[in-house]
Structure 1
Amino acid sequence: MTKPVIIGLTGSIGMGKSTVAAMFEDAGIPVFDADAEVRAMQGPDGELNPAIEAAFPGSTGPEGVNRDALGKLVFGDKNALARLEAIVHPSVGKKRMQFLADNEGAAIILFDIPLLFEGGGNESVDVVVVVSAPTDLQRERVLARPGMTEEKFEHILSLQTPDAEKRSRADFVIDTGTTFDETRAQVAAIINEIASSRV
C-alpha cells in the first residue's frame, strides 16, 4: 500500500495557519493539530498535568494547566522551557504516531506544527507548506488578540524562525493576505498538485 504524503503546515503567529488547516480538513485531508493535542493533555484530568505540576508547582488546578501561571514560570527562561518541552514533546510524538496509524489509508495527511522548523520537524514530513501574510496584517491580527502586548508579540517572534526564511524553505507558500475564497483556492491547488504527483 502506498504511504500517505505527509504535509507539514507551519507559519508564524498571526499568519492564518489555523484557518488554512481548517480548509485542508474541509477538503477531506486528515489534520493532526499539535497545539490542540497539547491543550487536551493539559486540560481537566489531562495526562500531562501531574508531571507539569511536579516540575512547576502551582501551575495546575482543577481545570488543568493554568496557562497564564505556567507562562509566567517559563517566559524568557530557556532552561524552564526546555524542561516543559521534555515533558510535552514525547507525548505529542506518541499521539502523532497513533494518528498516522489511524489514517494510514489516506492519500495525504497534514501535520499542523507551529514550530516545524524550530523543532526540526521539517525533516520528518514530505512536503512543507508555509502560511504567510504581509507583516502589517500579521501585527494587526496578533495585537487584536485578548491579552496580547507589543512586548509579548516581539518575544514570540524572537522564538520563531523569520517568515522570510520559512518561505524560502517551503515547498508551497499560502498567502492569507487575500480573501478566504482565494486562500481556499490556493489550498485546493496544492492538494491537486500533491495528489497528481502520487499517480
Structure 2
Amino acid sequence: MKKIKVAITGGIGSGKSSVSDYLEKKGHSVLRADLIAKELMAQDAQIKKKLIEEFGEESYSNDKLNTKYLAANAFSNEENVQKINSIVHPPVMEKIDQLAKEIFKNQDIVFIETALVYEANLEDFFDYVLLVLADEKTRIERIINRETVTEEQVRARMQYQIPDEEKKDDADFVLDNNTTLQELENRVEFLLILIRQLTA
C-alpha cells in the first residue's frame, strides 16, 4: 500500500480544525502544525533564542511563550511574518516528518493541518493538498466568536494569506464549508473514499 501525506489547509476561520476533528473521530491520524509549532516555540532552546533576538525579551513571560505579544508583533508587517516563519517552519516540518514516519508504520494516510502550505512553499512536502473554503464574512464571524479579537485584527492576519481563489487552482481537493457542520462532515466522508483509493 502506498503511504501518503495529505495537507489540510485554508484561510483562518475556514474550518480546517473541524475537518481535522472529524478525521480523528473516524480513526485517522492528524498532525496539527499549529500545535506542534506552539510546543516547539515553548520548549526548543534554539527557537526561543532566535525569537527573543528578533522580537525581544517580551516574547516570553515567566519563561512561557507570550502568544498575545508575538501575535501582535509577528503579524504587524510582512517582514516580521517572514521572520517568524523562517524561524519556526523548518523545525516544525522536520518534526512533522519524524511523526509521520512513525504513523506510517501502522497507517497508510497521515493528515497534516497547516494554514500556510502555499505561503511557505510547502506543496512538495505533501502528496495531496485539501483546501477548505468559506467566504470571508463567515470566516471573520467564526474567529470573532472563538477568540477575543476585533474584525480589524482578523483582517490583519488574513492579509498575509494567499486569496482562496488562487489556492483553488493548485489544490487537489476542495471542500466548501459555508453551511452546517453536518454537511461538512458528509463531504469529508465522501472525500475519504477518494483518498483511500489513492493508497491502493
Please state which band the TM-score falls in when normalised by the shorter chain. Answer: 0.7 to 0.9
Aligned-partner residue type, residue 69 of structure 1: Y
Using the size of structure 2 for normalisation, the TM-score is: 0.87
**Cα deviation per residue 1:106-149 (whole Å; 9 max; x = unaligned)?**
21111111011111112221211111123332222123343322
Q: Decide whether the 8 Å contact of 1:3 with 1:104 is kept in 2.
A: no
- Structure 2: segments with no counterpart, 5+ residues: none
Correspondence 1:42-61 to 2 at 5 A: 42-43=41-42, 45-47=43-45, 48-58=47-57, 59-61=59-61
State the match for 1:146 in structure 2: 147
Q: Cα RMSD (Å) of the superposition?
A: 2.0
Aligned-partner residue type, residue 70 of structure 1: L
- Structure 1: segments with no counterpart, 5+ residues: none
1:64 Cα deviation after fit = 1.6
State the match for 1:76 in structure 2: 76
State the match for 2:190 in structure 1: 189
Using the size of structure 1 for normalisation, the TM-score is: 0.88
State the match for 1:133 in structure 2: 134
**Cα deviation per residue 1:61-88 (whole Å; 9 max; x = unaligned)?**
2252212222333333333333322221
**Cα deviation per residue 1:15-60 (whole Å; 9 max; x = unaligned)?**
11111111112222211111000111233x4543233223322211
SS at match of 2:76: coil
Count of paired positions: 197
Task: Sort the Cα spacing of 1:83 and 1:179 in 2 relative to 1 into closer, same or farther, 3 A.
Answer: closer
Answer yes or no: is 1:38 the counterpart of 2:37. Answer: yes
Residues of 2 paired with 1:75 and 1:177: CA distance?
Answer: 26
Residues of 2 paired with 1:63 and 1:34: CA distance?
Answer: 22
